[in-house]
A = this chain, B = another copy of it.
């Protein structure tokens, strides 16, 4: 049994003694220990594919930062790769795909990923679970169908994802076929993660915010809802749709347990729009550049605004690589010591 199950209880809406805390990208470059492990892999994709190295960095923040959950170190783009679109991670540029989706033939050539295609992630989860020794829950994750399609069409990161949106506008039926294939792959993948030891799952819809409200419901949330329906009977699931401020109410209508919020969302507004759901977030990562005094003040204000129950403290986005580890610890300890 888990020694600290605060995150799971909060996600399920059960009473907690204090709000739990973890951080997106906690297994990341802010830790010298992460950078040392990372240096042992030839490149980013090899790093992601090495279960031993992945488990090592998954566990580090639990030891070093004292967070209430671990999140498996991996990448959202393992699914496109398993479906037949491999990618490279180019230093200080981001992901890059040699082949992208353009035509029906490209989509037909995609295979639906099976758990067997992603054994290395399952192994990483198993090793992480073992190394954590039931200290805290282990969170697994996937990109949302739309966010994955966005990369598979665009071929790289983008400010506008205009090629990916052009695909939705000009070939909506083909887009839906692709999104269904991706969704089926994600469901296989996440069920596999549960079998491999994930206590909870999170869907990252990183590029939600480039879509308009009606486009978001049609091309993204519809598929997120399918994923939540498949997963929520097994373990709690969180939906984090960055910049989709307009969609909170509709996200709350899915069977997800927890809703992630970015820092542009007001906690009180979010509570009103998401009745019955647990909320997660939403400190501005840049707050952790501020003075210790300001970090404590603003973190405590956020804890008060959300309230102790049905709340998982986190940032509104991933940690930035140049943040000071000590500031991150201060944030974590402020949450853990808060008597509000």
Contact = CB atoms under 8 A, between A and B. Distances in A.
A162 B286 contact: yes
A212 interface: yes
Interface residues of A, number: 31
Contact of A264 (B213, B285, B287, B317): B213
A266 interface: yes
A99 interface: no
Given A169-B294, A287-B169, A160 B320 contact: yes
A284 interface: yes
Interface in A148-170: 159-160, 162, 165-166, 168-170
B170 A284 contact: no
A1 interface: no
A294 B294 CA distance: 50
Contacts of A212: 263-264, 284
A201 to B, nearest CB: 26
Interface in A249-277: 263-266
Copies in the complex: 2
A44 interface: no
B320 A284 contact: no
Contacts of A162: 285-286, 289, 320, 322
A68 interface: no
Nearest to A167: B289
Contacts of A66: none
A291 interface: yes
A290 interface: yes
A209 interface: yes
Contact of A291 (B170, B263, B322): B170
Nearest to A94: B159
A245 interface: yes
22 contacts: A159-B159, A160-B317, A162-B320, A162-B322, A165-B284, A166-B286, A166-B289, A169-B286, A169-B287, A169-B290, A170-B289, A170-B291, A209-B264, A211-B264, A212-B263, A212-B284, A213-B264, A213-B266, A215-B284, A243-B243, A245-B245, A246-B266
Interface of A: 159-160, 162, 165-166, 168-170, 209, 211-213, 215, 243, 245-246, 263-266, 284-287, 289-291, 294, 317, 320, 322
Smallest CB-CB A-B distances: 7 pairs: A165-B286, A169-B290, A166-B289, A212-B263, A245-B245, A169-B289, A212-B284
Given A209-B243, A213-B264, A215-B284, 5 more contacts: A160-B317, A162-B289, A169-B289, A243-B264, A246-B264
